[in-house]
Structure 1
Amino acid sequence: MPVPRAEGERGGVDRRRVALLLETAEVLAERARRTDDAAQAQVLLRRAAQRRAQAQRLAAAGRAPEPRRLTGAAWPGRLAPS
């Protein structure tokens, strides 16, 4: 039988969700870079932006830490899990 979660445990779940959203966005963006189909690349980049925005909203709601931006030439301006 599942044990009810304490109120404090919710933050861990939300942090994992933010991390999952950001990782998914990164995978979608990488697929967009690899495809030769411009229409597919546009869709993938739009979906990646949606995932990043969703992670940002979740973090802004105070339910997870603010995602930080990765630094370096490899990932300019991309978000990273906190």
Structure 2
Amino acid sequence: MYSNLRGMFVVKRRGGVIQYFRTGFDLFSLPRWDLRELGRLDMLNPEDRSVGGDFERIIAKECNKGFPNHKPQRPRR
């Protein structure tokens, strides 16, 4: 979700943990599996659909193509 009040992206986890990201591209610091999970979800954006909608399209495109432009963290084996 994008919060106009804070000017940040907000990710709320199932356990109640809330993470804040200054820009949408800061989300790419998350691991690959986490980004794929976020890419499958619809972004809730009650205040400003344009910012969240634009980023929702970017992250979905990156997930579908295997992250060609942004290189998220990969777990070591």
Q: Same fold (TM over 0.5)?
A: no
TM-score band w.r.t. shorter chain: under 0.3
Bigger Rg, structure 1 or 2: 1
Structure that is richer in strand per residue:
2
Q: TM-score, normalised by structure 2?
A: 0.27
TM-score normalised according to structure 1 size: 0.26
